[in-house]
């Protein structure tokens, strides 16, 4: 099974980093977030990836074309002009990198992959979100319900902390509370190739017309995931993820 990762956006809300690199290459710990996403899928046996490139896509190409160099120790014998890699990466990944245009919308990027997807069901997600979602159960849900599209619904994070008071006096401060009644699009889709027919051109936003049409036909389901999920839209969210990783408390580290 293939997994598509959308990695072509400008990442303007995290411009402190994205002016130098595409958002999927922003590092959590010492690895780009796209590596973390791929490790989640790989944990469930999905090792073939198609990555949609756009903004500064050449940096993602450079990273994967020199993956051994980035992830292994290296001895360079300058006299013999030879390289020897040590503790090589054990990833069994096959990665297809596709330039889907600088200004192409999410739906358009997906449409441009048609020839690489074949006629098989595939996974798709964004290049900036991490979760401890069970991909195996997500795929089973999709197949069991005979849907053409399934999206993972995650709890909408509370924006603010809560003050608890009594008789005008503060009794307690609470952290931001997730609203389990309001689900938002958390990415981690499972899609059948027929959904590409709902995408008109490069200007089509996947989350608008295609998903709306699938909804009207009753052909898109939601797999509810109420455990850990976190996007990385801002530097504050990057720091949240990096803090979890550095403390060895990252819930998405399933491997």
Least reliable range by pLDDT among 40-49, 88-97, 154-163, 220-229? 154-163
Q: Which residues contact 165 (CB under 8 A, 6 or more apart)?
A: 171
Instruction: Give the pLDDT confidence score for residue 47 in this predicted structure.
Output: 98
What sign results for the dihedral spanned by CA atoms 129, 130, 131, 134?
positive
What does the pLDDT average to over 212-236? 95
pLDDT in tens, 123-138: 999 999 999 999 999 9
Region of 146 (left: φ > 0; alpha: ψ -120 to 50; beta: rest) is: left
Q: What Cα–Cα distance (Å) separates residue 177 from each residue in 157, 222, 234?
A: 7, 22, 19
Mean pLDDT of the chain: 92
Predicted TM-score (pTM) of the model is: 0.90
Pick the CATH number of 2-246 from 3.40.50.720, 3.90.550.10, 3.40.50.11540, 3.40.190.170: 3.90.550.10
Instruction: Give the pLDDT confidence score for residue 130 in this predicted structure.
Output: 98
Per domain, the residue ranges of the chain are: 2-246
d(CA 171, CA 192): 52
What does the pLDDT average to over 105-123? 96
Question: 111 with 201: CB under 8 angstroms?
Answer: yes
């Amino acid at each position: 099974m293939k997994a598509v990762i959308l990695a072509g956006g400008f990442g303007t809300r995290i411009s402190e980093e994205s002016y130098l690199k595409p958002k999927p290459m922003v590092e959590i710990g010492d690895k780009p977030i796209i590596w973390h996403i791929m490790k989640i899928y790989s944990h469930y046996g999905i090792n073939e990836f198609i990555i949609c490139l756009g903004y500064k896509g050449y940096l993602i190409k450079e990273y994967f074309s020199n993956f051994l160099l980035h992830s292994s120790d290296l001895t360079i014998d300058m006299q013999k002009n030879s390289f020897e890699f040590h503790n090589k990466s054990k990833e069994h990944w096959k990665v297809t990198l596709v330039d889907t245009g600088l200004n192409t919308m999410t739906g358009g990027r997906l449409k441009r992959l048609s020839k690489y997807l074949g006629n098989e069901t595939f996974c798709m997600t964004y290049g900036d979100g991490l979760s401890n979602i069970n991909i195996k159960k997500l795929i089973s849900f999709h197949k069991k319900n005979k849907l053409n599209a399934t999206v993972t619904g995650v709890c909408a994070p509370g924006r603010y902390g809560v003050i608890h008071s009594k008789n005008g006096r503060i009794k307690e401060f609470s952290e931001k509370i997730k609203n389990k009644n309001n689900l938002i699009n958390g990415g981690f889709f499972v899609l059948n190739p027929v959904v590409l027919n709902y995408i008109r051109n490069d200007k089509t936003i996947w989350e608008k017309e295609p998903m709306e049409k699938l909804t009207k036909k009753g052909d898109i389901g939601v797999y509810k995931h109420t455990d850990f999920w976190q996007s990385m839209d801002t530097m504050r969210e990057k720091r949240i993820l990096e803090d979890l990783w550095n403390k060895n408390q990252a819930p998405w580290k399933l491997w």
